[in-house]
């Protein structure tokens, strides 16, 4: 099994997920490719990398663990705005090159909302498993109980991110095809098309990911639904990509819902890279504890 893709990719590197540096119309859609070679990327020049090898670079550009504080700012065409802040704990339990038995927990993520008051202490816990259904739990203070749920396709507390956008994702969840390189948001990028397979149970039929060649950070991700309609676009701010402990992360990004003309901007205000996280942090009972 390949390493897990954490929320840091979707909401702090992609991606994981923006004051915009360019418009989507500035980017032309490359023609679809048909085959995907699988090979070791070690020592290969950039021109010889496959789509999967490029995506693996994105996965490798992550922390083993982190504690992160972020804010979400959402708005729509009617001028409605809302704001929230959350704290997240993440731990990767899978080592590079390690064979993992089916059903083994490979990563853990805990998110707890701290503001505003009406969703304070709400949160969710995700235990990602290899070749098995992930354990996903949500706690809402108004209901005073933890519920086991299936989060994929659900919106994250009224934002334009769905839980699929931030849930850990296996590299085996999709097929990756390299397309012609392109310039995105002023940076030279690899372009890969990711087509989720049946195992992923994805709400998307395909995604185009524009990966910064120098920093292995997805700067732009475009999403299509199962009818072939482009429905979302996630842009990272290239000026807000920071290097922390030899890992590049985007600390500011915006998800736009093209259908509803709404947006959610995510801003990372602090991050403790490779933090020491106690195993008890990810116990289900912690969701009800109201602790920080």
Local confidence pLDDT in tens for the 292 residues of the chain: 333 333 333 433 323 332 222 333 334 334 333 333 333 566 688 999 999 999 999 988 989 999 999 999 999 988 888 999 999 999 988 766 566 677 788 889 999 999 998 889 888 898 888 777 778 898 988 888 888 877 666 777 778 988 777 765 667 778 999 999 999 999 999 999 999 888 777 889 999 999 999 999 999 999 999 999 999 999 999 999 999 999 999 999 999 999 999 999 999 999 999 999 888 899 888 888 765 4
Domain ranges, ordered by start, for the chain: 4-288
Question: Which tokens is 280 given?
Answer: 């008890």
What residues contact residue 184 under an 8 Å CB cut-off, 6+ apart?
22, 27, 210, 219, 220
- To which CATH superfamily is domain 4-288 assigned? Lipoprotein localisation LolA/LolB/LppX (2.50.20.10)
Give CA–CA dist 271/169, Å, rounded. Answer: 21
Whether residue 264 contacts residue 74, with contact meaning beta carbons closer than 8 Å, is answered with: yes
Contact (CB, 8 A) for 152 and 201: yes
Provide the β-strand partners of residue 5: 169
Spell out the SS3 assignment of 154-165: CECCCCCCEHHH
For 206, the 3-state DSSP assignment is strand
Report which DSSP code applies to 10: H
Give me the pLDDT at residue 132, please: 74
Q: Residue 142 has what pLDDT?
A: 81
Whole-structure pTM value:
0.81
- Residue 210 to residue 20: CA distance in whole angstroms: 15
């Amino acid at each position: 099994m390949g390493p897990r893709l954490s929320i840091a990719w979707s909401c702090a590197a992609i991606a994981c997920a923006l004051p915009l540096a360019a418009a989507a119309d500035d980017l032309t859609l490359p023609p679809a490719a048909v085959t995907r070679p699988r090979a070791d990327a070690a020592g290969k020049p950039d021109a010889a990398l496959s789509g999967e090898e490029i995506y693996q670079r994105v996965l490798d550009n992550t922390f083993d663990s982190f504690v992160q504080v972020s804010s979400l700012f959402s708005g729509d065409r009617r001028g409605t705005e809302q704001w929230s802040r959350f704290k997240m704990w993440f731990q990767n339990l899978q080592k590079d090159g390690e064979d993992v038995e089916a059903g083994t927990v490979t990563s853990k993520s805990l998110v707890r909302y701290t503001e505003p008051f009406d969703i304070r202490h709400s949160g969710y816990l995700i235990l990602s498993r290899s070749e098995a259904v992930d354990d996903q739990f949500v706690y809402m203070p108004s209901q005073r109980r933890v519920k086991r749920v299936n989060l994929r396709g659900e919106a994250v507390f009224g934002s334009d991110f769905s839980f699929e956008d931030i849930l850990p994702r296996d590299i085996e969840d999709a097929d990756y095809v390299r397309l012609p390189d392109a310039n995105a948001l002023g940076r030279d990028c690899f372009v890969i098309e990711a087509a989720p397979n049946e195992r992923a149970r994805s709400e998307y039929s395909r995604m185009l990911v524009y990966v910064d060649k120098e920093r292995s950070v997805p700067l732009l991700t475009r999403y299509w639904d199962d009818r072939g309609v482009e429905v979302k676009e996630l842009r990272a701010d290239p000026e807000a990509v920071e290097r922390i402990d030899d890992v590049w992360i985007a600390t500011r990004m915006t998800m736009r819902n093209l259908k509803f003309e709404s947006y959610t901007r995510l801003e990372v205000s602090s991050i403790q890279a490779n933090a020491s996280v106690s195993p008890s942090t990810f116990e289900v009972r912690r969701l009800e504890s109201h602790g920080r």
